[in-house]
C-alpha cells in the first residue's frame, strides 16, 4: 500500500486531518486500532471553541453542529451558594462556545471520510511505525488477519496519549513535561433536561463540581473525587445527593434529576511532549499533549494541531519547501502552553487540593480569587478570551 500521509488514529484529530488533506488534493490512509462503533461511543469532550466552529465552517462540515449544537454566550461561576454569570459574548466582541459532543463530531467526520472514498481501516493490530527518520516512512500492521505495510511520505501520530507513535520516537530526542493532579472527576450522563442554559462551575469546601449538558434532553455532570475512586461505591442516589449538596444555590437552583445513563472516573493530568515532531513523524492532539478538562481545551487543541499540519504538508507538496513542516512543533506548542496555563489556572482556582488546617490558607486565597474574578471586568475578559479560544484560521 502507498499513500502520501499515513494517519495513525481514527478519532476526531485523525479524521479531521484526513479531510483537510483531501481538500488540498493530498491522499491519506487512516489506521485505527478500535472499531468504528467504539470510537463513536467514547464519551469525551463536548465544548467547541469559536475557532473550531469557524474551521468546520470553512471546510463545509458545520451543517449539523450549527443545527444541533448548543451555542453558549456565557458561563457561570458559583461559590458561596451564589451564581455569577460571565458574559463571554459581550467581553470578546461576539465570540461564543458551542456544546456538541465529540461523538457527534466523530459521526460527521466519519461521513465526510466515506464520501471521499478513501480508506479508514479499523481494528488494525500490531501497528508499528518505521523509518520515519528517512525519506520513506513505513507503517506495518495486521488487518483482517493479513500482514500489511503502508509506504508514505509522512506519518501523523493522532493515536492518543496511549498510542504507539510517541513512544516510537527515540527517548533522547523527546522530552515530557507532566503534572498529575491529586484528584479526578466522577462524571455522569443523565437523562434529564438541563436546568441551566449555560455551564456552571462550582467551588465548595467539599470539592469542585460542574454542571454541563450534551443536548436539550441530556445533562452531563461532574464531581471532584479521588483519582482512584471506586465507582462501584457510588450508587446513583449517592451521586445525586452529592451533586445537589455541591451545586444547589441559595436561591434554590439545582440540576434536574433523571436516570443515570453512564458513569465513570477520570484522572487529571497536564502533559506536553516536546518537540511534537521527529523526522517525518508528526504528533497531534492527545498523542502530544493532555490538558485537564476544566478549561475545555483538549479537542480544540487537536483541531488546531491538524490544521497547522495540513497547511505545512500542503505547502511542502506545492513548493518543495520544508519550512512550515520544520516550524510545526514550535507553532503548535505556543498555543498548547497557553492552553496549559489557562487549564492549570482554572483547575487550581476551582478544586480543593486537601482538607484540614494545612489548606485553610489556600481556601481563603481561592475565595479571594473567585471574588476578584467575578467583580473585575478585566479578570472576566481574560477568562472569556481564553475560554472561547483564539482563532485557528
Task: Give the Cα separation of 206 and 215 in Å (integer).
Answer: 28
Measure CA 162 to chain center. Answer: 15
Reported as a single tens digit per residue, the pLDDT across 234-269 is 999 999 999 999 999 999 999 999 999 999 999 999
Kindly write down the DSSP assignment for every residue of 28-92, as one continuous string.
EEEE-SS-HHHHHH-----EE-HHHHHHHHHTT--HHHHHHSEEESEEEEEETTEEEEEEHHHHT
Task: Give the Cα separation of 307 and 65 in Å (integer).
Answer: 19
Residue of 228, 231, 255 whose CA lies nearest to 241: 255
User: Cβ distance 108 to 57 under 8 Å?
Assistant: no
Q: How far is the CA of 195 from the CAs of 154, 248, 258, 263, in angstroms?
A: 48, 11, 12, 19
Note the pLDDT of residue 155: 98
The reply to whether 5-46+101-174+275-345 and 181-268+352-388 are identical in fold is: no
Task: Name the CATH superfamily, with its identifier, for domain 5-46+101-174+275-345.
Answer: FAD/NAD(P)-binding domain (3.50.50.60)
Average per-residue pLDDT for the chain:
96
Task: Give the Cα separation of 116 and 59 in Å (integer).
Answer: 13
∠ CA 51-47-343, nearest 5°, is: 85
pTM of this structure: 0.95
Note the pLDDT of residue 360: 87
Three cell numbers, residue 199: 455551564
Within 10 angstroms of residue 12's Cβ, the number of other Cβ atoms is 25
Note the pLDDT of residue 356: 63
The domain spans of the chain are 5-46+101-174+275-345, 181-268+352-388
**Catalytic machinery residues:** 72, 201, 293, 297, 387
Within 10 angstroms of residue 355's Cβ, the number of other Cβ atoms is 12
Phi (first) and psi of residue 300, to 5 degrees = -70, -35
Residue 343: enclosing H or E segment and its boundaries?
A: helix 328-350
Beta pairing partners, 85: 76
Note the pLDDT of residue 359: 82
Q: Torsion over CA of 37, 41, 47 and 53, rounded to 10 degrees?
A: 20
Reported as a single tens digit per residue, the pLDDT across 6-54 is 999 999 999 999 999 999 999 999 999 999 999 998 767 789 999 999 9
DSSP helix/strand/coil, 116 = helix
Angle between helices 328-350 and 360-373 (to 10 degrees): 110
pLDDT tens per residue across all 393 residues of the chain = 999 999 999 999 999 999 999 999 999 999 999 999 999 987 677 899 999 999 999 999 999 999 999 999 999 999 999 999 999 999 999 999 999 999 999 999 999 999 999 999 999 999 999 999 999 999 999 999 999 999 999 999 999 999 999 999 999 999 999 999 999 999 999 999 999 999 999 999 999 999 999 999 999 999 999 999 999 999 999 999 999 999 999 999 999 999 999 999 999 999 999 999 999 999 999 999 999 999 999 999 999 999 999 999 999 999 999 999 999 999 999 999 999 999 999 999 999 988 666 688 999 999 999 999 999 999 999 999 999 999 999
Residue 360: enclosing H or E segment and its boundaries?
A: helix 360-373
Provide the CATH topology of domain 181-268+352-388: D-Amino Acid Oxidase; Chain A, domain 2 (3.30.9)
User: Cβ distance 219 to 211 under 8 Å?
Assistant: yes
Residue of 145, 202, 338, 177 whose CA lies nearest to 273: 177
Amino acid at each position: 500500500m502507498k499513500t502520501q500521509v499515513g494517519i495513525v488514529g481514527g478519532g476526531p484529530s485523525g479524521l479531521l486531518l484526513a479531510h483537510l488533506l483531501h481538500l488540498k488534493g493530498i491522499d491519506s490512509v487512516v489506521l485505527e486500532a478500535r472499531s468504528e462503533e467504539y470510537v463513536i461511543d467514547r464519551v469525551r469532550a463536548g465544548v467547541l471553541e469559536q475557532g473550531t466552529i469557524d474551521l468546520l465552517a470553512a471546510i463545509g462540515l458545520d451543517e449539523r453542529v450549527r443545527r444541533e449544537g448548543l451555542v453558549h454566550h456565557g458561563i457561570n461561576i458559583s461559590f458561596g451558594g451564589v451564581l455569577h454569570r460571565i458574559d463571554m459574548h459581550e467581553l470578546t466582541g461576539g465570540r461564543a462556545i458551542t456544546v456538541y459532543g465529540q461523538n457527534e463530531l466523530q459521526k460527521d467526520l466519519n461521513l465526510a471520510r466515506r464520501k471521499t472514498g478513501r480508506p479508514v481501516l479499523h481494528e488494525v493490530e500490531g501497528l508499528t511505525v518505521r523509518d520515519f527518520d528517512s525519506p520513506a516512512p513505513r507503517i506495518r500492521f495486521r488487518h483482517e488477519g493479513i500482514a500489511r505495510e503502508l509506504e508514505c511520505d509522512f506519518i501523523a501520530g493522532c493515536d492518543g496519549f496511549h498510542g504507539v507513535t510517541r513512544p516510537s520516537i527515540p527517548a533522547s530526542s523527546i522530552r515530557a513535561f507532566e503534572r498529575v493532579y491529586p484528584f479526578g472527576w466522577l462524571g455522569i450522563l443523565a437523562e434529564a433536561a438541563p436546568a441551566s442554559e449555560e455551564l456552571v462551575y462550582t467551588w465548595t469546601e467539599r470539592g469542585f463540581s460542574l454542571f454541563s449538558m450534551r443536548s436539550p434532553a441530556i445533562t452531563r455532570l461532574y464531581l471532584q473525587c479521588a483519582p482512584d475512586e471506586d465507582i462501584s461505591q457510588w450508587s446513583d442516589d449517592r451521586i445525586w445527593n452529592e451533586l445537589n449538596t455541591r451545586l444547589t444555590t441559595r436561591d434554590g437552583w439545582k440540576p434536574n434529576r433523571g436516570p443515570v445513563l453512564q458513569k465513570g472516573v477520570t484522572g487529571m493530568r497536564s502533559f506536553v511532549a516536546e518537540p511534537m515532531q521527529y523526522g517525518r513523524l508528526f504528533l497531534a492532539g492527545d498523542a502530544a499533549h493532555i490538558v485537564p478538562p476544566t478549561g475545555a481545551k483538549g479537542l480544540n487543541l487537536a483541531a488546531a494541531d491538524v490544521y497547522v499540519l495540513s497547511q505545512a504538508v500542503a505547502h511542502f507538496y506545492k513548493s518543495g519547501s520544508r519550512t512550515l513542516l520544520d516550524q510545526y512543533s514550535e507553532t503548535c506548542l505556543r498555543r498548547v502552553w497557553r492552553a496549559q496555563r489557562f487549564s492549570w489556572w482554572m483547575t487550581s482556582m476551582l478544586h480543593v487540593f486537601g482538607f484540614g488546617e494545612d489548606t485553610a490558607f489556600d481556601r481563603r486565597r481561592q475565595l479571594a480569587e473567585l471574588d476578584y474574578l467575578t467583580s473585575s471586568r478585566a479578570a472576566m475578559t481574560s477568562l472569556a478570551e481564553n475560554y472561547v479560544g483564539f482563532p485557528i484560521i
